[in-house]
Structure 1
Amino acid sequence: MRIGILGTGNMADALGTQWIRAGHQVMFGGRSPDRARALGRRAGGAAGTLADAVAFGPVILLALPFDAVAGVLTELGARDGTLGDRLLIDCTNAVGPGFVLTTAGGPGAARTIADVTGARVVKAFNHLPDAVWRLTPPAFADGPVAVPLCGDDEEALTTVATLVRDLGCVPLTAGGLDRAAYLEATTAFLIGLWHSGHDPRTLLPPVEAATA
């Protein structure tokens, strides 16, 4: 699979490197050619501009700070259909100081990105930090990590589920793109707990008890 990655930060590095190891062709695109080339050399992938990454393949990973997304999409000419035929994986988190959503009171991040680009957006990989995605595989005592997927396009969901399995994880279809806002809010809540030193798993009973 050919995957263009928008961004050269930690999430781009972690996911891109794992997909290259799984046999996919990856191009890292960034505003800094030097950073993109350095990441490409380190991960074993190609490197180019943001526009190069979009043109590289039918699957795009949006791995940028959310506050940079609007500017990048404008730069790419998102409204002229440049991204309209792409599968766009959104792993961004619109989380500001105090671990609150900066999109509160409006559409969620994934819905906003879908509306602006017309792309087939799937929200995925945003619920955990890059350190987890660097594990080979991302698995703990309870088994492989589950990755929630939210999207409206069945073919896109199937493709992203394949990329999840290629990491050694388990895809968990969690509903349409309207559910992505709940995943984004849950992630903000989890980030706050982790930074406070709490283990969110202690909040949850076994599924049998929760559904009894």
Structure 2
Amino acid sequence: MRIGIIGTGNMADALGGQWARAGHDVVVGGRDPGRTNALAARIGGRAGRPRDAVAHGSDAVLLAVPYTAAVDVVSDLADALAERPLIDCTNPVAPGFVLGTQGGPSAAERIAAASGAHVVKAFNLCHESVWRRTPPVFDERPLAVPLCGDDAGALDTVRRLVRDLGADPVNGGGLDRAGLVEATAAVLIGLWVGEGVDAQAIAPPLAYAGGR
């Protein structure tokens, strides 16, 4: 697939590197030429500006910038992003592990409104180091990745990209449920970082979840 990546940070590095190694044609788009060239060389992709990445990403575009910049970034690229599958891995988590979108639409919904793209919320529940694991399997169980989106074609594309990481895509519902996934990230990050708690331990295994 032809994948464009907007951003040059850790998530761009981790996910872009895995997809390039899986044989996808990746272009990294960043505002700093030095950082962009270095990342593209490291992961085996090509470098350009954000608009170059969007133009290249006819199959999917990954938005891998801080949420505080995300809406402005996609607004500037809306003419090129319209109708494109756009993967949103941002987390609107503010200091104190609270949502920066409280009282309004989710980050994913704001990004969709600003870009006109077919947004799929994904990859936001794990630290970037998890996405560098090949594959992300824990105690013989592949990582499950919830996807929220409204466009069937975009969801199918992102499911393929999840499987290319060795993870399992799961249905998280429409884009109107993305805020629930973002809130889950705020809770998990607060437990992991703020309390040093194994957040996975807060939910029982499926066999016991329904009182069976």
For the aligned pair, the TM-score class normalised by the smaller chain equals over 0.9
8 Å CA contact 2:74–2:81 kept in 1: the answer is: no
Match of 1:136 in 2: 134
8 Å CA contact 2:51–2:80 kept in 1: the answer is: no
| SS of residue in 2 equivalent to 1:172 | strand
Which amino acid letter does the alignment assign opposite residue 146 of structure 1? A
Over the matched positions of the two proteins, sequence identity in percent amounts to 59
Of residues 198-207 and 41-50 in structure 1, the stretch that sits farther from structure 2 once superposed is 198-207
Match of 2:69 in 1: 68
Match of 2:35 in 1: 35
Which amino acid letter does the alignment assign opposite residue 69 of structure 1? A
CA distance in 1: counterparts of 2:200 and 2:115, whole angstroms: 36
Please report how far the alpha carbon of residue 88 of structure 1 lies from its aligned counterpart in structure 2 after TM superposition.
0.2
Which amino acid letter does the alignment assign opposite residue 49 of structure 2? T
Please report how far the alpha carbon of residue 209 of structure 1 lies from its aligned counterpart in structure 2 after TM superposition.
2.0
CA distance in 2: counterparts of 1:134 and 1:38, whole angstroms: 18
CA distance in 1: counterparts of 2:74 and 2:119, whole angstroms: 14
Encode CA deviations 1:143-178: one digit per residue, 9 max, x unaligned.
Answer: 111000000011111110000000000001110001
| SS of residue in 2 equivalent to 1:11 | helix
1:185 and 2:183 equivalent?
A: yes
Match of 2:10 in 1: 10
Residue 106 (structure 2) aligned to one of 97, 105, 108: 108
CA distance in 2: counterparts of 1:186 and 1:142, whole angstroms: 24
1:203 and 2:202 equivalent?
A: yes
CA distance in 1: counterparts of 2:123 and 2:196, whole angstroms: 22
CA distance in 2: counterparts of 1:73 and 1:169, whole angstroms: 27
CA distance in 1: counterparts of 2:198 and 2:178, whole angstroms: 23
Q: After TM superposition, which residue ranges in structure 1, 4 or more long, deviate above 3 angstroms?
A: none
Of residues 200-209 and 127-136 in structure 1, the stretch that sits farther from structure 2 once superposed is 200-209
1:122 and 2:123 equivalent?
A: no
Please report how far the alpha carbon of residue 75 of structure 1 lies from its aligned counterpart in structure 2 after TM superposition.
2.9
Please report how far the alpha carbon of residue 82 of structure 1 lies from its aligned counterpart in structure 2 after TM superposition.
2.1
Which amino acid letter does the alignment assign opposite residue 180 of structure 1? A
CA distance in 2: counterparts of 1:94 and 1:119, whole angstroms: 19
CA distance in 2: counterparts of 1:15 and 1:3, whole angstroms: 11
Match of 1:52 in 2: 52
Please report how far the alpha carbon of residue 55 of structure 1 lies from its aligned counterpart in structure 2 after TM superposition.
0.5
Which amino acid letter does the alignment assign opposite residue 202 of structure 1? A
Encode CA deviations 1:91-120: one digit per residue, 9 max, x unaligned.
Answer: 000111011110010000001111111110
CA distance in 2: counterparts of 1:120 and 1:102, whole angstroms: 22
Question: Counterparts of 1:165-180 in structure 2 under 5 Å?
Answer: 165-180=163-178
| SS of residue in 1 equivalent to 2:176 | helix
**How many residues in Structure 1 have an aligned counterpart in Structure 2?**
209
CA distance in 2: counterparts of 1:200 and 1:70, whole angstroms: 30
TM-score (norm 1): 0.96
Please report how far the alpha carbon of residue 142 of structure 1 lies from its aligned counterpart in structure 2 after TM superposition.
4.5
CA distance in 1: counterparts of 2:152 and 2:158, whole angstroms: 10
Please report how far the alpha carbon of residue 133 of structure 1 lies from its aligned counterpart in structure 2 after TM superposition.
0.1
| SS of residue in 2 equivalent to 1:190 | helix
CA distance in 2: counterparts of 1:108 and 1:70, whole angstroms: 12
